[in-house]
Amino acid sequence: MHTNTNSWILKGMICYSKSKEELSVMENGYLVCCQGICQGVFPSIPEEFKSLPLTDYQDALIFPGMTDLHLHAPQYPFCGLGMDLELLEWLENHTFPEESRYCSLDYARQAYGIFTEDLKASPTTRAVIFSTIHSPATKLLMDLLEDTGLATYVGKVNMDQNCPDFLREADAHAALEDTRQWLKDTMNAYRHTKPILTPRFAPTCSAALMEGLGKLQREYGLPVQSHLSENLSETAWVKELFPWSSFYGDVYDRFGLFGSGKGNNAPAVMAHCVHSPREEVLRMKEKGVFVAHCPQSNTNLSSGIAPIRSYLEEGLFIGLGTDLAGGTNLSMFRCITDAIAVSKLYWRLVDQSAKPLTLEEGFYLATIGGGSFFGKVGSFEKGYEADVLVADDSLIPRPQGQSIQNRLARFIYLSQEKGKLIGKYVAGRKIF
């Protein structure tokens, strides 16, 4: 008898990744969850699970929840502004002034309240999130995220150089002491929300700060998030600031902030990786670094097109990120379609041997690809945490009837106009 409230059965049109290239589908299938863990998908309810409560979603699509591997919560209020600027100019004109406002808890409560409610309603079930340098506002964001039921990592940002005075930590010592206290306050304070170390990006962190963050990583066993090889001006700047480095990622690696190998329980996730040289790619593979591919942001800020096909073939860990507010949309569905679109441009304009992403591959990246940063997440196979989205596509016309695969593809592309999410679960917890 399974009595846990996170134990249930969902019935509907079920679809999930069988591999990077192939979807597994079952019409009128039964997805079984016990204590937050998937037990599998079945054509009829196995005898041992018949006592579980059943929700029949009838003709609705049921597929895994999606992980947003990279976004900036404090930037949500200015989504859509400054899209005619490149990265460094955009940071100076929009990002840093907005982030400075989070020294006010009143402002943070208003802005983060809007962000967390919208994230709760989105396709995102898990996310890896930047906050600001402000510990009180970061804790407030973690409180609000915990209330949503989503599973998240949240990082208090560190930066002590090459940024405006109004958003600069006093020095490396002060930044590290503040970060250590924040960790003490949050490490065990939540069930679903966890801290992640967050050097903003190498140019804004002194060697002393990076060294101290590396020590905190080893002491607490924490994952790390940052930015990597996003923009050509940025990569040239890193070489000026750290002339001893072999490449951008070598800076993080030198200080112990670049993962430590496949199977590491505290990996690093690096956003963008648009201009990573071969040596950097090999180091990422060696260290088990996750690439957060942010196609909309890379387009909006004129950063370029990340060579995702070559990263897939290299066997890197890859997920997708909306990168708010470089990206202007919380929808992971939009993130999938943007990833496919820019891969076509890369194939046509840059390397005609790099075939574009398929819908199946984009879906895999949004589910298992990013989900694996959190463990066994993003599939309905037995043993995976039960992150689920239920979608009503009844307003998307299909007069001749269509396969589940085609219905999923059309929902991903047309959801903003004619689709609706009607159910969302994270590790078996019903969000709505």
Q: Which pLDDT value is given to residue 4?
A: 57
Residue 288, sorted as left (phi over 0), alpha (psi -120 to 50) or beta, turns out to be left
Q: How far apart are CA 405 and CA 411, in angstroms?
A: 10
Q: Which pLDDT value is given to residue 1?
A: 38
Q: Which residues contact 65 (CB under 8 A, 6 or more apart)?
A: 123, 124, 125, 126, 367, 371, 377, 378, 387, 388, 389, 424, 425, 426
Q: Which pLDDT value is given to residue 263?
A: 46
Q: Which pLDDT value is given to residue 67?
A: 98
The domain segmentation of the chain, as residue ranges, is 8-64+378-430, 66-374
- Quick check: 204 and 249 in contact, CB under 8 A? no
- Quick check: 18 and 63 in contact, CB under 8 A? no
Question: At the topology level of CATH, where does 66-374 sit?
Answer: TIM Barrel (3.20.20)
Q: How far apart are CA 373 and CA 353, in angstroms?
A: 29
Q: Which pLDDT value is given to residue 260?
A: 75
Q: Which pLDDT value is given to residue 241?
A: 96
> Mapping DSSP to helix (H, G, I), strand (E, B) and coil, where does residue 368 land?
helix
- Quick check: 75 and 324 in contact, CB under 8 A? yes
Q: What is the pLDDT along the chain (432 residues), one digit of tens a residue?
A: 344 579 999 999 999 999 999 999 999 999 999 999 999 999 999 999 999 999 999 999 999 999 999 999 999 999 999 999 988 899 899 999 999 999 999 999 999 999 999 999 999 999 999 999 999 999 999 999 999 999 999 999 999 999 999 999 999 999 999 999 999 999 999 999 999 999 999 999 999 999 999 999 999 999 999 999 999 999 999 999 999 999 999 999 999 999 875 445 689 999 999 999 999 999 999 999 999 999 999 999 999 999 999 999 999 999 999 999 999 999 999 999 999 999 999 999 999 999 999 999 999 999 999 999 999 999 999 999 999 999 999 999 887 778 999 999 999 999 888 889 999 999 999 999
Query: Which of 321, 327, 262 has its CA nearest to residue 288?
Result: 262
Q: How far apart are CA 153 and CA 117, in angstroms?
A: 17
Q: How far apart are CA 4 and CA 208, in angstroms?
A: 48
Query: Which of 260, 311, 313, 309 has its CA nearest to residue 289?
Result: 260
8-64+378-430 sits in which CATH class? Answer: mainly beta
